[in-house]
């Protein structure tokens, strides 16, 4: 069977997400399965080149996985005509410049979020990519998670009737770093380094909620820095200058509403770190990353508010789990396969840089809404 090689330069692969999800669980997993089957029967086989700032760490990863090519020079990679795709999973503050270099070099580009620190920067990238005629895409991994796939199937079947509201709860306690090391990097809590939960997570919420429930028409948000003092990787205290929590109400063009709570200063009392409850006229569902539970109208109990007596209803027992009646692949890997197919054939990718710019737009509007203390409408982007 014919094999077609597509060479992918991964910048930022020494980071947790870049290494675990994008290199090991996506590109290397695709290689182990023998590539991606194309319509002509051939197999598309990704060839990674590792890019980063620290030679020792790159060399160690390459040796661990039997890879031949790594470099600390982005210019070297982008000037190499054998490189087909540039992928960026660096810190946010470094992403826009590197992506623009790759676009100007004529490479297909695929990137983590946010695509840039500002909406103007995100639109510059999207317009440059369009003018260059390359395939460009943004990681929208949560659309490919088992719980979200189950939820999408329920929506497609009409299970909910008319969707009334969505409640999105996300977050966990990120330790301050003094007694117990923080499980997130310190730059996440420095606004000057591109940190903040709004810029980090609202691009996720934009594509997730829009793909499921349609366009977001307005937003009202309040942000907070609940933990003002943290300790970095070396144990040095620093002042947190970025938001670590955000509380928002989103309005959909359909008339539905979403309450969206995101926090790195909350303790988890739910089945998963991310949960969405969707309530409709005919039924409701609670979806996480993997699980999805439902309650139909015919199974809905009749609660009566009486604070003087114990509540006799076991509410959670009246929900049913949607079964795993299909095979679920790694969400990052599933989207990588779609993107690499498009890039190999020079086709547009559904979740492109313009879609990525919409995520930055929602984050920007949420920050503005909090600063100005008012509801803001979401205008259409001029592409």
| One domain, residues 173 and 110 | no
Instruction: Measure the N-to-C terminal CA separation of the chain; round to a whole number of Å.
Output: 41
Residue 358 belongs to a domain: no
| One domain, residues 192 and 324 | yes
Which range of residues forms the domain containing residue 44? 3-140+331-351
| One domain, residues 146 and 135 | no
Amino acid 1: pLDDT: 66
| One domain, residues 288 and 342 | no
Q: Report the domain count for the chain.
A: 2
Q: What is the pLDDT of residues 191-228, one digit of tens each?
A: 999 899 999 999 999 999 999 999 999 999 999 999 99
CB 326: neighbour CB atoms within 10 A? 9
Residue 52 belongs to a domain: yes
In the numeric block, which tokens belong to residue 153? 């199937």
| One domain, residues 283 and 216 | yes
CATH number at residue 324: 3.30.360.10
Residue 378 belongs to a domain: no
59, 70 Cβ separation under 8 angstroms: yes
Q: What is the pLDDT of residues 257-294, one digit of tens each?
A: 999 999 999 999 999 999 999 999 999 999 999 999 99
Q: What is the pLDDT confidence band of residue 175, given thresholds at 50, 70 and 90?
A: very high
CA dist 294 and 157 (Å) reads: 13
CB 173: neighbour CB atoms within 10 A? 14
In the numeric block, which tokens belong to residue 323? 């079964």
Predicted confidence (pLDDT) at residue 365 exceeds the cutoff of 80: yes
| One domain, residues 125 and 173 | no
Amino acid 383: pLDDT: 75
| One domain, residues 189 and 91 | no
| One domain, residues 298 and 162 | yes
| One domain, residues 187 and 324 | yes
CATH number at residue 56: 3.40.50.720
Residue 178 belongs to a domain: yes
Residue 380 belongs to a domain: no
- 213-235 core/surface letters (b: 16 or more CB in 10 A; e: else): beebebbbbebebebeebbeeee
| One domain, residues 86 and 153 | no
Report H helices in the chain: 16-17, 29-32, 55-65, 74-78, 92-104, 119-132, 146-157, 197-213, 331-345, 353-372
| One domain, residues 170 and 318 | yes
Q: What is the pLDDT of residues 130-169, one digit of tens each?
A: 999 999 999 999 999 999 999 999 999 999 999 999 999 9
Q: Give the residue among 86, 124, 127, 129 at the shortest CA–CA distance from 107.
A: 86
CA dist 302 and 81 (Å) reads: 67
Residue 188 belongs to a domain: yes
State how far Cα 256 lies from the chain centre.
Answer: 23
Q: What is the pLDDT of residues 80-105, one digit of tens each?
A: 999 999 999 998 889 999 999 999 99
At 263, phi and psi to the nearest 5? -155, 140
8, 50 Cβ separation under 8 angstroms: no
Q: What is the pLDDT of residues 71-80, one digit of tens each?
A: 999 999 999 9
Average of per-residue pLDDT across 241-256 = 98
CA dist 195 and 242 (Å) reads: 6
| One domain, residues 156 and 299 | yes
Residue 382 belongs to a domain: no
In the numeric block, which tokens belong to residue 267? 């303790």
Residue 234 belongs to a domain: yes
Q: Could you give the percent of the chain with pLDDT greater than 90?
A: 96
């Amino acid at each position: 069977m014919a094999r077609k090689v597509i060479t992918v330069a991964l910048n930022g692969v020494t980071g947790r997400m870049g290494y675990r999800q994008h290199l090991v669980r996506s590109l290397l997993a695709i290689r182990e399965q023998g590539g991606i089957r194309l319509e002509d029967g051939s197999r598309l086989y990704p060839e990674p080149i590792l890019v980063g700032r620290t030679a020792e760490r790159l060399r160690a990863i390459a040796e661990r996985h039997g890879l031949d090519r790594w470099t600390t020079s982005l210019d070297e990679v982008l000037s190499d005509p054998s490189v087909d795709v540039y992928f960026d999973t660096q810190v946010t503050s470094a992403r826009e410049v590197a992506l623009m270099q790759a676009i100007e070099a004529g490479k297909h580009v695929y990137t983590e979020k946010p695509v840039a620190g500002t909406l103007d920067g995100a639109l510059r990238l999207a317009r440059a990519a369009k003018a260059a005629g390359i395939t460009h895409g943004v990681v929208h991994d949560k659309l490919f998670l088992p719980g979200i796939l189950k939820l999408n199937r329920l929506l497609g079947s009409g299970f909910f009737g008319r969707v009334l509201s969505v409640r999105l709860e996300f977050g966990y306690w990120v330790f301050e770093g003094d007694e117990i090391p923080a499980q997130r990097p310190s730059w996440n809590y420095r606004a000057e380094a591109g940190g903040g939960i709004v810029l980090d997570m609202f691009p996720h919420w934009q594509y997730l909620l829009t793909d499921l429930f349609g366009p977001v028409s307005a937003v009202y948000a309040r942000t907070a820095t609940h933990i003002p003092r943290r300790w970095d990787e070396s144990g040095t205290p620093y002042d947190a200058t970025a938001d670590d929590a955000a509380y928002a109400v989103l309005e959909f063009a359909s008339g539905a509403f979403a309450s969206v709570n995101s926090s790195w200063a909350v303790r988890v009392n739910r089945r998963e770190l991310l949960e969405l409850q969707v309530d409709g006229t005919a039924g409701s569902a609670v979806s996480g990353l993997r699980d999805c539970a439902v309650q139909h109208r015919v199974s809905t109990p009749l609660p009566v508010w009486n604070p003087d007596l114990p509540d006799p209803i076991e509410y959670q027992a009246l929900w049913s789990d949607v079964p795993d009646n299909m095979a679920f692949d790694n969400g990052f890997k599933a989207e990588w396969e779609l993107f690499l197919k498009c890039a190999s054939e020079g086709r547009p990718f559904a979740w492109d840089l313009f879609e990525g710019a919409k995520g930055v737009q929602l984050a920007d509007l949420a920050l503005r809404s909090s600063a100005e203390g008012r509801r803001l409408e979401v205008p259409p982007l001029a592409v």
